[in-house]
């Protein structure tokens, strides 16, 4: 039986990688991943055959991982964060589904045993660094309209506003997509106050991490890039300061009982 591990390695800090992910990588001969992710993992990747493909080549990367595993090589397809959240895992199953429907010509893929190993996602890293931003109901919205029509994204932004969910924006900006985050802000401002806390987490848990706490009215694309996770509080989220230390949390409502 050939095996494909689909592994999320967390936000960046080696100490946030699950031992299960490390053990899975160790058991592999071949790794398919964007180079930077492997650099963050360090020497656990030594001696493995490394297959890199540029960002944007996601479909090729998923195919390659299935092909390698089907050829008998124990293989890991790796991404940072949780590979099940806006990442490569879903693409592996989309390809498998196409094969099951007879729209691909890779019956050998069906013999691959697939195991997904989850990881800590960027929204969780951001929330933990500022306190407890995700303390109550929340949602995530990808602002990339490469695969999802902007109309669908816009519908979700309104739903997020109506439901008063804390929201984390993935893919908030890229070189070619610069207006979506400001459009998202403007929609949310129809539902929650200007003063709603916003957290911008860049390179979370990595050496060059930076975290900025601001307010919804001041959220601006100029402060956001493709390495930034943007989380916007709900109408009850609080930004507090204890001396120089700043925190953001979203209450669950215990204060009624305190």
Using CB under 8 A, which residues numbered 212 to 251 contact its own copies?
Answer: 238, 240-243, 247, 249-251
Tell which positions 61-120 bind its own copies, by CB under 8 A. 82, 84-86, 89-98, 100, 103-104, 110, 114, 116-120
The nearer residue to its own copies, 115 or 222, going by C-beta atoms, is 115
Tell which positions 9-68 bind its own copies, by CB under 8 A. 10, 13-20, 23, 58-59
Check: CB of residue 20 under 8 Å from CB of residue 130: no
Region of 44-52, 160-168, 193-201, 208-216 interacting with its own copies (CB under 8 A) = 160-168
The nearer residue to its own copies, 50 or 106, going by C-beta atoms, is 106
Check: CB of residue 100 under 8 Å from CB of residue 30: no
DSSP conformational letter for 47: T
Which of 134, 213, 229, 230 contacts its own copies by CB under 8 A? 134
Q: Residues touching its own copies: how many (CB under 8 A)?
A: 82
Residues 6+ apart with CB under 8 A from 256: none
The dihedral through the CA atoms of 92, 96, 98, 104 has a sign that is: positive
Query: 140-174 in b/e burial notation, b at 16+ Cβ within 10 A?
Result: bbbbbeeeeeeeebeebbeebbeeebbbbbbbbbe
Closest approach, Cβ 207 to its own copies, in A, equals 15
């Amino acid at each position: 039986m050939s095996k494909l591990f689909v592994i999320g390695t967390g936000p960046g800090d080696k100490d946030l990688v699950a031992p299960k992910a490390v053990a899975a990588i160790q058991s592999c001969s071949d790794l398919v991943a964007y180079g930077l992710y492997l650099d963050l993992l360090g020497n656990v990747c030594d001696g493995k055959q490394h297959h890199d493909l540029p960002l944007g080549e996601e479909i090729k990367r998923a195919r390659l991982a299935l092909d390698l595993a089907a050829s008998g090589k124990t293989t890991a397809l790796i991404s940072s964060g949780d590979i099940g959240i806006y990442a490569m895992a879903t693409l592996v199953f989309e390809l498998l589904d196409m094969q099951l429907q007879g729209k691909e010509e890779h019956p050998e893929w069906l013999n691959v045993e697939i195991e997904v190993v989850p990881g800590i996602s960027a929204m969780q890293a951001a929330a933990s660094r500022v306190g407890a931003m995700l303390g109550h109901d929340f949602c995530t919205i990808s602002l990339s309209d490469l695969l999802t029509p902007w109309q669908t994204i816009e519908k979700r932004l309104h739903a997020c506003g109506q439901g008063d969910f804390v929201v984390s924006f993935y893919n908030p900006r890229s070189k070619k997509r610069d207006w979506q985050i400001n459009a998202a802000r403007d929609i949310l401002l129809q539902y929650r106050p200007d003063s709603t806390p916003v957290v911008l987490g860049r390179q979370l848990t990595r050496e060059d991490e930076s975290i900025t706490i601001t307010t919804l009215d001041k959220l601006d694309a100029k402060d956001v890039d493709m390495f930034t996770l943007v989380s916007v509080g709900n109408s009850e989220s609080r930004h507090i300061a204890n001396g120089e230390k700043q925190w953001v949390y979203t209450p669950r409502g215990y204060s009624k009982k305190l």
